[in-house]
Amino acid sequence: MSKISNIEDFQNVFFIGVAGVGMSAIAQYLKGIGKEVSGSDRYFNPGEYNKTKEQLEAEGIHCFLQDGSGISPTTDLVVVSTAIEDTVYEVQKAKELAIPIIKRSELLSIIAKSKKTIAVAGTSGKSTTSAMLYQILLDAHLEPSIISGAGLTSIIKEGKIGNAAVGKGEWLIIEADESDGSVVQYEPEIGLLLNIDKDHQEIDELIELFTIFKNNTKSLFIVNQSNTLAKTLSANPKNDFGFEDKNAGFSAENFQQNGFHLSFEVLNQKFEMNSIGRHSAENATAAIAVAHQIGVNLKVCAESLSKYEGIYRRHQILGQKKGVWVIDDYAHNPAKCAASIKACQPL
């Protein structure tokens, strides 16, 4: 098996578990830059409708049953997620054909090396902040790309899965995940650390992972001065963001929430958003800190965030009936649940 270390080292790539949110994002991105992409999934069954399969095929990604039929001698690379065991028949077939097999995170790090990458890390808020930053850079005409862990509402409206987009510009936004330790694989141009709270690992393990992430960042490392643990890894507080924190170069001030509407100020620029919760303002300020430091005017940031439509299952407003609002939220650890509940009880 030849070693894959560069995005030019392969053309025909096959994903085992392609319907997964992390896998489908990379599959769509690679298709968007001209690779031949196909994949299988255990949830693809004969004669059974699968929306993700339909959306992938609409992008030109060939979908197969998980029976090995999609892997052939012309396949250059097989990608697996951490959920795919070595006993899966397709993994065995790839080995028999001597096709290189790599994990999703390893492939993402190879993709990241091919662009000027902004890696968003932290135990909470990665998908939301990535989406906000993508929207700002898009509205600033920088034509960014994104590989995300959740669908952006603005892209979902186009009938797509919404977790990936390919732009002609030099910037790529990715999420650097600590849950599987893969955060240490990336060498981004800009590293953004949102927070450190106990989640998949113990605190000391998380500090170790994020310290390596900091050391791997090439030019600009930005942390949240309002998060007790994250701020210990600050490279320069002037570059950092925070919530009503005078130590941060970019601080959200005069925060107000009225129903599903937020307002706050950063460096005397007023921001208004259709969102809820202090954490939303904090995530937005993180995106603003990155965007402004790569040359985007604060007014452009404000205009962009006023149109931000959110992401799938992150305080997603489903509707209202008889005075009761229904909100779908993915919060799944104590810090995320607390932020989600607090957002709905601002007073």
Q: What is the pTM of this model?
A: 0.90
CA dist 95 → 17, 52, 65, 90, 315 (Å): 17, 27, 19, 9, 43
Contact 7, 114 (CB under 8 A): yes
pLDDT on residue 213: 97
Residue 40 confidence (pLDDT) above 70 = yes
Residue 313 confidence (pLDDT) above 90 = no
Dist. CA 112–CA 5, nearest whole Å: 11
User: Residue 132 gets which letter from DSSP?
Assistant: H
Q: What is the pLDDT of residues 240-278, one digit of tens each?
A: 999 999 999 999 999 999 988 999 999 999 999 998 899
Dist. CA 163–CA 124, nearest whole Å: 17
Dist. CA 99–CA 282, nearest whole Å: 44
Would the CA dihedral through 18, 168, 218, 191 be positive or negative? negative
Sheet with 101-103, strands from edge to edge, namely: 62-65, 36-41, 12-16, 77-80, 101-103
Q: Half-sphere exposure of residue 187, counting CA atoms within 13 Å on the CB side?
A: 4
For a pLDDT cut of 90, what percent of the chain falls above it? 79
The stretch 300-323 carries a mean pLDDT of 80
